[in-house]
Structure 1
Amino acid sequence: MFIRAYLRASTHQQDALRARGALDAFAKEHGLRIAARYVENESGAKLDRPELFRLLADCEPGDVLLVEQVDRLSRLSAPDWSKLRSEIDAKQVRVVALDLPTSWGLAATPDDFTARMFAAVNNMMLDVLAAVARKDYEDRRRRQAEGTARAKAEGLYRGRPENKTRNTAIAAMLRDGHSWRQIMDGTGCSRTLLAKIARELKANETAG
């Protein structure tokens, strides 16, 4: 049995390794050793997360997927959560989350009956917390949209100010031939912003 830790943050501006200390402390307290860590900056509302699926591909039956909280694993819609759960179940991976005490027993190697009881209870709680995480995500998005709409109606909304220094650096890196991945990792920009600057740069070069 291998313990594989999954660490995720939603944006490149956030520290995906923030929870490493908590996961390491949990493993030490339970006499476990983390064999590998998989780290990425992707939204938990997306099913397409390369490092998560690399983790699952590396797993053997009985391996543990260790996360700080269930929402690090999923803020997915019900259909996408069902797909991810099917993949986890097919690989016979045990999900252990620090915020889900019913899962902690799965990090041990109990007898077959105890393991099945732990798994049954944990699966139910995992589904509940995944649903709560999704609702929290949708509620925050709704409140943000309502706040933006209210600000626009009152003439107070100005949008996010352009970070001219960063955008100039991004344009310079594009001209120097850096890859998009290098630029995103180096500046923390999104692919959408990078594509916008690349289009503007190409248009300016064509006009020039």
Structure 2
Amino acid sequence: MFIRAYLRASTDDQDASRARKTLSTFTELHKQRIASYYQENISGTQLDRPELNRLLDDTQENDILLIENIDRLTRLNDKDWKTLKQKIELKGLRIVSLDVPTSYLAIDNKRFINDDPIIKAVLESINNMLIDLLAAMARKDYLTRRERQSQGIEKAKEEGKYNGRVADKERHQKVMYYRNDKMLSISETAAATGYSRSQVCRIQASYKKDLELLI
């Protein structure tokens, strides 16, 4: 059994590694350790995520997918959540989320409670129900935030106060410097700039698109 920790933040200016210490402390309390971390800055509404896909590719049966909260794994709509959940189940991967105490059984060394098949079946059913419930709540929270954000932007536009979001151009230029001038790999560039691998790829794609528009 390998514990694979998944860390996600929605935007480039958020710290995806924020929960790393929390997850490490959690596994230590359960006399376990994290085998690998998968970190990316990408919306939880997207089904196709590079680091999550890499985690699924690396997974062996009975491995643990460790997350801080269910909303770090999904803000997907119902159809996409069912697709992701099916992929997870087909891999034999077990979700352990700090906001779902019933999921701790997958990681806990105290296995005595699993000796009773009825108790085990009941707990697994409760666990699956809670995960699905929190997944639905995460999606609802996302939609509510989007609606409020849209209302706020519309109001700011009416008042002439909306300027849009400004990218950190200096940091983005560092990415291109390390990639094009220093010829560093994506992983090396991510380490040098503090971005995730998926962020580096997105910044590259953005600069390539801008360059094409100028030609």
> Does the alignment reach a TM-score above 0.5?
yes
Residues 1:115 and 1:37: Cα distance change in structure 2 (over 3 Å)? farther
In structure 1, the residue matched to 2:115 is 111
Q: Is the 8 A contact 2:3 2:33 kept in 1?
A: yes
TM superposition shift of 1:59: 2.2
In structure 1, the residue matched to 2:163 is 158
Q: 1:120 aligns with which of 111, 120, 125?
A: 125
Q: Is the 8 A contact 1:170 1:183 kept in 2?
A: no
In structure 1, the residue matched to 2:65 is 65
Correspondence list, 1:125-144, <5 A: 125-144=130-149
**Structure with max Cα Rg:** 1
The worse-fitting range, judged by mean Cα deviation, of 187-196 and 119-128 is 187-196
In structure 1, the residue matched to 2:150 is 145
- Paired with 1:192 and 1:61, the residues of 2 have a C-alpha distance of 31
What is the one-letter code of the residue matched to 1:143?
Answer: R
In structure 2, the residue matched to 1:99 is 99
Q: Is the 8 A contact 1:180 1:194 kept in 2?
A: no
Q: Look up the SS of the partner of 1:62 in the other structure.
A: coil
In structure 2, the residue matched to 1:36 is 36
TM superposition shift of 1:202: 4.9
Residues 1:4 and 1:191: Cα distance change in structure 2 (over 3 Å)? closer
Q: Is the 8 A contact 1:12 1:190 kept in 2?
A: no
- Paired with 2:182 and 2:102, the residues of 1 have a C-alpha distance of 50
Q: Percent identity?
A: 44
- Paired with 1:174 and 1:34, the residues of 2 have a C-alpha distance of 30
In structure 2, the residue matched to 1:82 is 82
TM-score normalised by structure 1 residue count? 0.81
- Paired with 2:35 and 2:79, the residues of 1 have a C-alpha distance of 31
What is the one-letter code of the residue matched to 1:152?
Answer: K
1:9 aligns with 2:13: no
Residues 1:37 and 1:177: Cα distance change in structure 2 (over 3 Å)? closer
TM-score normalised by structure 2 residue count? 0.79
Q: Look up the SS of the partner of 1:18 in the other structure.
A: helix
The worse-fitting range, judged by mean Cα deviation, of 153-162 and 78-87 is 153-162
- Paired with 2:211 and 2:151, the residues of 1 have a C-alpha distance of 34
The worse-fitting range, judged by mean Cα deviation, of 17-26 and 33-42 is 33-42
TM superposition shift of 1:43: 1.3
TM superposition shift of 1:11: 2.2
The worse-fitting range, judged by mean Cα deviation, of 172-181 and 12-21 is 172-181
What is the one-letter code of the residue matched to 2:164?
Answer: G
RMSD, aligned CA: 3.0
**Gap regions ≥5 residues in structure 1:** none
TM superposition shift of 1:111: 3.0
Q: Is the 8 A contact 2:179 2:189 kept in 1?
A: no
- Paired with 1:187 and 1:100, the residues of 2 have a C-alpha distance of 30
What is the one-letter code of the residue matched to 1:19?
Answer: A
**Gap regions ≥5 residues in structure 2:** none
TM superposition shift of 1:93: 1.6
Q: Is the 8 A contact 2:178 2:189 kept in 1?
A: no
Residues 1:139 and 1:174: Cα distance change in structure 2 (over 3 Å)? same
Q: Look up the SS of the partner of 2:7 in the other structure.
A: strand
